[in-house]
């Protein structure tokens, strides 16, 4: 295993983003991906479109807890699959200045992704890692031609390969978690061998988006406690091999942003962060076992991430925070609301949510009895109204557009 304990993924218009293990772990989040459907407050569930993809990219740019653009936040049904990677990556580069995820389904898509990253960063020789890609094996025990081709292209270009077997316990892996995790580990090691043979020193991430199948229905249960155990394993193995890890996210099998979605997503996300996972794909916005992306769940999950990160920051214990003199000054049965100490520390020590309602029932009723789904919809609309496209050098934009049009024309010519 190539030991690169910290990887830095660069972006031309933003600060470099590092991922890696350690006591104060560097954790990077990217949003939902690969879903053929979108669920919105206004429309319900429907096939996703290119406009939905643009919406999710804009939300990614607007929120501080998302540190990379992602790639296929959803799978637009109104874009020809032969040219999808051109259309999506062009928009990712134009709509966000955060580090890029590429397409690796085949050597041709991987090569195009890498070349577009070179254009965006004005570094055609790719002197640094500008892009990463999630590269999946086909369990059990297959690295197929398409994914292997993508892996080798990323390796030869020195870009980051996130090796990610999605083994399904009881289906593509043994019913026991131990057997399934051992199988996934072996597939990761095999992928790493190919990457290092292609280019010694290829930066890799130990990815294991594994869970069980609910054998009653034959469905991949990504919100299950068994899935959370698999996430914990991925974090442990990343530290064992001294490489960054990828697993987990705000994962749920719920069909809408309801109580089930909240319970499952918070379990999976909390375990992911606590387990030391470094790269959290599907960190926000996912529904229905990877089948649906949702802008509203996107912003709900962003708030959950803030809660978890605030929890992880803990609290300070010192003379000022213990406040012994203040406690002695306040009469028994009194209160601390009128103390300057309260004003100073409540501003800095508390997380004040603008998503989750904490005021009284009467005030909530007077304000329209809005549930989290409706509040999230309003927040989505606000973020889209406030969105500003980041600056992109006009020459870079022109070169990118010319490359995309040439690629699209070539894809149709050879199809």
Instruction: Indicate which CATH number applies to the domain containing 25.
Output: 3.20.20.480
The structure tokens listed for 65 are 């807890």
> Is there a domain that residue 388 lies in?
no
> Is there a domain that residue 183 lies in?
yes
> Is there a domain that residue 320 lies in?
no
Q: Average of pLDDT values for 390-404?
A: 98
User: What are 271-287's pLDDT values in tens digits?
Assistant: 999 999 999 999 999 99
User: What are 18-33's pLDDT values in tens digits?
Assistant: 554 443 457 899 999 9
Q: What is the domain range of residue 116?
A: 7-312
Helix (H, G, I), strand (E, B) or coil at 174: coil
> Is there a domain that residue 347 lies in?
no
> Is there a domain that residue 382 lies in?
no
**Whether the predicted pLDDT of 292 surpasses 70:** yes
| Residue of 17 and 132 predicted with greater confidence | 132
What is the model's pLDDT at position 3?
Answer: 43
Helix (H, G, I), strand (E, B) or coil at 191: helix
Domain count, the chain: 1
Q: What is the DSSP string of 310-340?
A: HHHH----SHHHH-HHHHHHSPTT--STT-H
The answer to whether 268 and 248 are in contact (CB under 8 A) is: yes
Mean predicted lDDT score pLDDT of the chain: 94
What is the model's pLDDT at position 22?
Answer: 42
> Is there a domain that residue 414 lies in?
no
Structure pTM? 0.94
Nearest-CA neighbor of 210 among 192, 193, 190, 235?
235
> Is there a domain that residue 84 lies in?
yes
> Is there a domain that residue 75 lies in?
yes
**Whether the predicted pLDDT of 347 surpasses 90:** no
What is the model's pLDDT at position 2?
Answer: 45
Helix (H, G, I), strand (E, B) or coil at 126: coil
């Amino acid at each position: 295993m190539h030991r690169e304990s910290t990887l830095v993924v660069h972006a031309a218009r933003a600060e470099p983003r590092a991922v890696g293990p350690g006591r104060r772990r560097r954790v990077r989040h990217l949003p939902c991906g690969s879903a053929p459907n979108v669920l919105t407050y206004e429309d319900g569930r429907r096939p996703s479109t290119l406009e939905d993809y643009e919406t999710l990219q804009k939300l990614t740019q607007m929120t501080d807890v998302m540190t990379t653009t992602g790639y296929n936040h959803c799978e637009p049904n109104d874009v020809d699959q032969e040219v999808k990677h051109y259309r999506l990556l062009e928009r990712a580069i134009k709509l966000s200045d955060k580090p890029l995820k590429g397409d690796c389904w085949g050597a041709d898509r991987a090569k195009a992704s890498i070349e577009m990253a070179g254009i965006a960063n004005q570094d055609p020789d790719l002197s640094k890692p500008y892009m990463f890609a999630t590269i999946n094996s086909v369990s059990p025990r297959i690295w197929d031609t398409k994914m292997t081709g993508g892996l080798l292209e990323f390796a030869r270009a020195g870009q980051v390969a996130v090796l990610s077997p999605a083994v399904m316990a009881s289906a593509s892996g043994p019913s026991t978690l131990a057997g399934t995790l051992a199988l996934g580990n072996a597939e990761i090691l095999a992928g790493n061998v190919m990457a290092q043979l292609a280019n010694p020193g290829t930066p890799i991430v130990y990815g294991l988006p594994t869970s069980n199948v609910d054998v009653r229905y034959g469905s991949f249960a990504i919100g299950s406690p068994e899935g959370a155990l698999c996430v914990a394993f991925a974090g442990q193995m990343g530290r064992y091999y001294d490489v960054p890890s990828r697993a987990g996210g705000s994962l749920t099998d719920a069909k809408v942003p309801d109580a089930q979605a909240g319970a499952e997503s918070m379990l999976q996300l909390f375990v992911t962060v606590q387990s030391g996972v470094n790269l959290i794909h599907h960190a926000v916005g996912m529904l229905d076992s990877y089948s649906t992306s949702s802008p509203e769940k996107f912003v709900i999950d962003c708030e959950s991430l803030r809660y978890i990160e605030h929890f992880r920051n803990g609290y300070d214990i010192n003379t000022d925070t213990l406040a012994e003199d203040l406690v002695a000054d306040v009469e028994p049965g009194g209160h601390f609301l009128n103390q300057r100490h309260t004003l100073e520390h409540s501003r800095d020590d508390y997380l004040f949510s603008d998503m989750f309602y904490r005021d009284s029932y009467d005030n909530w009723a007077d304000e329209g009895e809005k549930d989290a789904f409706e509040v999230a919809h309003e927040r989505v609309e606000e973020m889209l109204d406030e969105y500003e496209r980041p600056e992109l050098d006009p020459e870079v934009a022109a070169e990118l557009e010319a490359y995309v049009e040439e690629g699209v024309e070539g894809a149709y010519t050879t199809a």
